[in-house]
């Protein structure tokens, strides 16, 4: 499995000299699920990516928006196309847009001027824990303004990359049902950081409900627990259960680098993926590492 072709379905590039990422400031960090992230507050470009991934056969990549300055969401897509022209990477882009902004149609139209755009990510407003209920729908998946903007994805034939913790999956399930023509790709496996028995049972039941919708898919990435190194024993059951729930045809492996570099190395993550699925059939393994990313992102 050493030379299996891999499409990394979720990673980031950033150049801090552009001053588009104020959150990447080691001395002024925002709340973050892995804690202190000062180690990634530096440039991360294709040369850096190639160095950390050199022990794996990375053939293409999918770039995820990086919370670039929201006043210029299309600017990141423009910049990434310049990188592609210079280096051949990335090969598909998930752009930034805000469905509840008045300029959403113009922003989506702007992204569509660039041939690598495939999907959009807008991180909705969430509750920090499952026992806190948002009574105000503004900014959530249930916000009528959000949903009106979201409806435009069908017009532009774009997918939706969704990052939420598992306790918001009932709302995501409703979104999938109400807009069946738009594919929702759940990022980071529904963020199963609570590894207690109750936490895992609730994660699993919500994931099953979401996966019942035919227009949903899953990226297996970003699954580690705060202050713990990535390892197969910690994450094996999460990965196997995710594949069981969605089926090997709808799951993609991804690095989430450099963000997951806070708690692991690229080799630890991808060697772990390879070890955990080593008993599966060859075509199933190839689907997880490569073919499903082709299906959902059609990288150039």
CB atoms within 10 A of CB 139: 18
* Domain extent for 112: 6-297
Task: Read off the CATH number of the domain in which 20 is found.
Answer: 3.20.20.140
Residue 156 included in any domain: yes
**To the nearest whole percent, how much of the chain has pLDDT over 70?**
100
E strands in the chain = 6-11, 58-64, 92-96, 117-121, 159-162, 184-186, 216-220, 251-253
pLDDT at 261: 96
Query: Residue 162 pLDDT more than 90?
Result: yes
Q: What is the pLDDT of residues 107-158, one digit of tens each?
A: 999 999 999 999 999 999 999 899 887 768 999 999 999 999 999 999 999 9
> What is the arrangement of strands in the sheet containing 117-121, beginning at the earlier edge strand?
6-11, 58-64, 92-96, 117-121, 159-162, 184-186, 216-220, 251-253
Count of residues in the chain: 300
Tell me the CA distances in angstroms from 130 to 142, 165, 208, one per residue in order: 16, 9, 17
Longest distance between any two alpha carbons in the chain, whole Å: 50
Residue 1 included in any domain: no
Q: Residues with Cβ < 8 Å from 274, sequence gap 6 or more?
A: 1, 4
Query: Residue 287 pLDDT more than 90?
Result: yes
Residue 126 included in any domain: yes
Residue 10 included in any domain: yes
Q: What is the pLDDT of residues 208-259, one digit of tens each?
A: 999 999 999 999 999 988 888 999 999 999 999 999 999 999 999 999 999 9
Alpha carbons 153 and 174: distance in angstroms, whole number: 16
How many domains does the chain fold into? 1
Say what angle helices 104-111 and 73-87 make with each other, to 10 degrees.
Answer: 10
Residue 74 included in any domain: yes
Query: For residue 134, what is the DSSP state?
Result: -
Alpha helices in 212-265 (DSSP H): 232-246
Residue 68 included in any domain: yes
Residue 16 included in any domain: yes
CB 56 within 8 A of CB 270: yes
Residue 27 included in any domain: yes
Q: Residues with Cβ < 8 Å from 221, sequence gap 6 or more?
A: 9, 10, 187, 188, 189, 253, 254, 255, 256, 260
0.95 cut: is pTM over it?
yes
For the chain, how many helices (H) and strands (E)?
11, 8
């Amino acid at each position: 499995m050493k030379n299996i072709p891999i499409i990394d379905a979720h990673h980031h590039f950033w150049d801090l000299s552009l001053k588009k990422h104020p959150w990447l400031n080691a001395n002024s960090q925002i709340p973050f699920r892995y804690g202190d992230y000062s180690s990634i507050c530096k440039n991360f470009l294709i040369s850096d990516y190639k160095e950390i991934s050199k022990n794996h056969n990375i053939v293409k990549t999918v770039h995820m928006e990086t919370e670039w300055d929201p006043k210029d969401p299309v600017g990141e897509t423009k910049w990434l196309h310049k990188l592609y022209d210079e280096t051949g990477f990335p090969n598909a882009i998930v752009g930034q847009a805000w469905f509840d902004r008045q300029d959403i149609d113009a922003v989506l139209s702007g992204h569509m001027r660039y041939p690598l755009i495939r999907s959009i990510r807008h991180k909705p407003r969430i509750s920090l824990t499952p026992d806190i209920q948002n009574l105000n729908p503004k900014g959530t998946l249930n916000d009528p303004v959000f949903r009106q903007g979201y409806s435009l994805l069908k017009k532009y034939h774009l997918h939706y990359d969704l990052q939420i913790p598992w306790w918001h999956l009932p709302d995501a399930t409703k979104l999938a049902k109400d807009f069946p023509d738009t594919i929702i790709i759940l990022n980071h496996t529904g963020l199963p950081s609570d590894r207690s028995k109750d936490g895992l049972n609730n994660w699993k039941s919500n994931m099953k409900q979401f996966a019942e919708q035919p227009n949903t898919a899953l990226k297996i990435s970003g699954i580690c627990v705060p202050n713990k190194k990535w390892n197969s024993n910690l994450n094996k059951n999460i990965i196997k259960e995710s594949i069981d729930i969605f089926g090997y045809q709808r799951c993609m492996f991804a690095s989430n680098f450099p963000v997951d570099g806070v708690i692991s190395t690229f080799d630890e993550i991808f060697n772990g993926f390879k070890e955990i699925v080593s008993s599966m059939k060859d075509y199933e393994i190839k689907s997880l590492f490569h073919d499903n990313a082709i299906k959902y992102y059609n990288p150039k």
